[in-house]
Amino acid sequence: MKRLFSKMAKKKRKVEFCQKNLDRFLKEDDVPYYEEFFKNPIISYNEYHCQSKCEICTKHPYAMVNGRMITANSTQELLEKVRGIV
């Protein structure tokens, strides 16, 4: 049983961003918080040029976390939501 939980705890969490969305919403002041978060070894971070989510992308910061879309009103709020999931 202990091995089962240790394997689950070590499973990587996949977080994906659209580069266009980050360019549009990520403020320079927030970059250090994102960098610190992605140092976590269980986080697998990918940034794509475009994820074809244009309708959302132009209105809100978003990320895909383990295949699930997370949106927010600001990049700070988005990071808090992502932290709560992973």
pLDDT of 51 above 60: yes
Instruction: Specify the DSSP class assigned to residue 63.
Output: E
pLDDT in the model for residue 84: 87
Q: Is 32 left (phi over 0), alpha (psi -120 to 50) or beta?
A: alpha
pLDDT of 54 above 80: yes
pLDDT in the model for residue 31: 94
Mean pLDDT of 63-84: 95
- From the list 59, 53, 55, the residue with the least C-alpha distance to 78 is 59
Mean pLDDT of 26-42: 93
- What pLDDT band is residue 27 in, cutting at 50, 70 and 90? very high
pTM of the model: 0.82
pLDDT in the model for residue 6: 55
CB 58 within 8 A of CB 23: no
